[in-house]
Amino acid sequence: MKIPVYLDYNATTPVDKRVLETMVPYFTEKFGNASSRTHSFGWIADDAVKTARRQVSELINCLEQELIFTSGATEAINLALKGVWENYQTKGKHIITVKTEHKAVLDTCAYLEKKGAEITYLDVNREGLIDLQELKNAMRKETILVSVMYSNNETGVIQPIKKIADLVHANNSILFCDATQVVGKINIDVQDEHIDLMCLSAHKFYGPKGVGALYIRRKDPRVSLFPQTHGGGHERGLRSGTLNVTGIVGLGKACEIAKLEMWDDAARISKLRTRLEQFVCGLPNVFVNGSTKHRLFNTTNICFQGIRSETIIKKIPNIAVAMGSACTSELAEPSHVLIAMGLSDEDSYSSIRFSLGKHTTEEEIKEVIEKIKQSVL
């Protein structure tokens, strides 16, 4: 068993060795610029990008032309939200999102509010789920965009995206879905679920950091975005800049592997998560935050009522867990996700996120159970 034990897979994942092996040649002998059209170095790089685009499209069931490569989910979120805002103001200036969204969405919405956007922030219940009737009531003819996270990064709670899409499209609005935590873990079909815009990031499913993609629907309805980066017209003019060929190759390979292996990984990891929860939640004043029915198989957010999470974490230095999302872990504030779900500040400060991955072993879970027992009893 490796020490320390890593149970923070929602923050990032190690690059799969097969992904790394696929990437390495594009650092060295296949180093061409994919936009170089006059020689074989550029042609080879361009072919690699096309292959990766196909691999990503096959994972989420979209057209290859519906994908824009980005530096990650945060950039994709900015392009989606700002791009819609600037292109659809003739329809309206109203955007709907959820109080438990990732900060990349919430901070972008705050920016758009300063530009004149009207933002409605939906509540969630104790399980972390939105009320579909509240969403329906919030809709206006001026609503241009609804942004709902597929699965929450802190709790793993999964929203009913297909039902949400039906309500959004009945209003002739656009649905953006932050699917950063679920792509590569569970099957997502953007056609079946009627998603219009969706972001993903390679490092959440054993690909490299610094690369992601934005899916943009081309028909029924066709979504158009205003570019946020100018200079060269790359990626159909929506995201100028030399393509990160090496990273894109890694993203493509990670998608190919996920498509083949995600179901087996999910079955095994779910059993380990259940074993961890069954023990930990058997301790006094301990409970799971959020829905235990509608959530990712690898995530559990647990409140150790009456004990600060930082106190527990200090007692288990060889176990990597999180007190919230990686993007907000340095803030001395209670989790905005847990507060929105109705937890008190104290209970929020007493909560720990455990997120398992494909390298998590039964021996590691046994070790974690023993260390948690020692730290709280």
pLDDT of residue 37: 92
pLDDT, tens digit (0-9, with 9 covering 90-100), for 244-302: 999 999 999 999 999 999 999 999 999 999 999 999 999 999 999 999 999 999 999 99
Cis peptide before 25 (omega within 30 of 0): no
- What is the torsion angle, in degrees rounded to the nearest 10, for the CA atoms of residue 55, residue 59, residue 60 and residue 66? 0
Whole-angstrom distance, CA of residue 178 vs CA of residue 125: 20
- CA 157 – CA 315 distance, rounded (Å): 28
Annotated domain spans of the chain: 5-13+262-376, 17-256
Q: Is 281 a catalytic residue?
A: no
Rounded to the nearest integer, the mean pLDDT of the chain is 96
Q: How many CB atoms lie within 10 A of CB 120?
A: 18
Among 144, 137, 147, CA closest to 177: 147
Query: Shortest CA distance to 237 belongs to which of 51, 43, 56, 68?
Result: 68
- Grade residue 3 by pLDDT with cuts at 50, 70 and 90: confident
Q: How confident is the model at residue 377 (pLDDT cuts 50, 70, 90)?
A: confident
Nearest to 98 by CA among 315, 321, 338, 340: 340
Helix (H, G, I), strand (E, B) or coil at 338: helix
Q: How far apart are the first and last CA of the chain?
A: 25
pLDDT value of residue 167: 98
> Taking residues 52-58, what's their average pLDDT?
98
Tell me the mean pLDDT in the region 56-80. 98
CA-CA distance, 254 to 208, in Å (whole number)?
9
- pLDDT value at residue 325: 52
Rounded mean pLDDT of 2-23?
96
Query: What is the length of the chain?
Result: 377
For residue 175, list its beta bridge partners. 146
| CATH number attached to the domain at 17-256 | 3.40.640.10
For the stretch 174-224, pLDDT in tens is: 999 999 999 999 999 999 999 999 999 999 999 999 999 999 999 999 999
Cβ atoms 287, 377 nearer than 8 A: no
Under 8 Å between Cβ of 67 and 57? yes
Q: Catalytic pick from 109, 255, 303, 327?
A: 327
* The residue to which tokens 């393509």 are assigned: 243
> What per-residue confidence (pLDDT) applies to 2?
77
How far apart (Å, rounded) are the C-alpha atoms in residues 302 and 320? Answer: 15
Mean pLDDT of 91-108: 98
Q: Which two tokens stand for residue 21?
A: 């092996």
**Per-residue pLDDT tens digits for 232-242:** 889 998 999 99
Does residue 330 surpass a pLDDT of 70?
A: no
- CATH class of this structure's domain 5-13+262-376: alpha beta
- Interval 288-328: pLDDT, tens: 999 999 999 999 999 999 999 999 999 999 999 999 655 54
Q: What is the pLDDT of residue 333?
A: 84
Task: Grade residue 1 by pLDDT with cuts at 50, 70 and 90.
Answer: confident
What does the pLDDT read at residue 20?
A: 98
Token representation of residue 279: 């023990």
Mean local confidence (pLDDT), 121-135: 98
Question: 43 near 29, Cβ under 8 Å?
Answer: no
What pLDDT sits at residue 100? 98
User: Tokens 């829905």 identify what position?
Assistant: 291
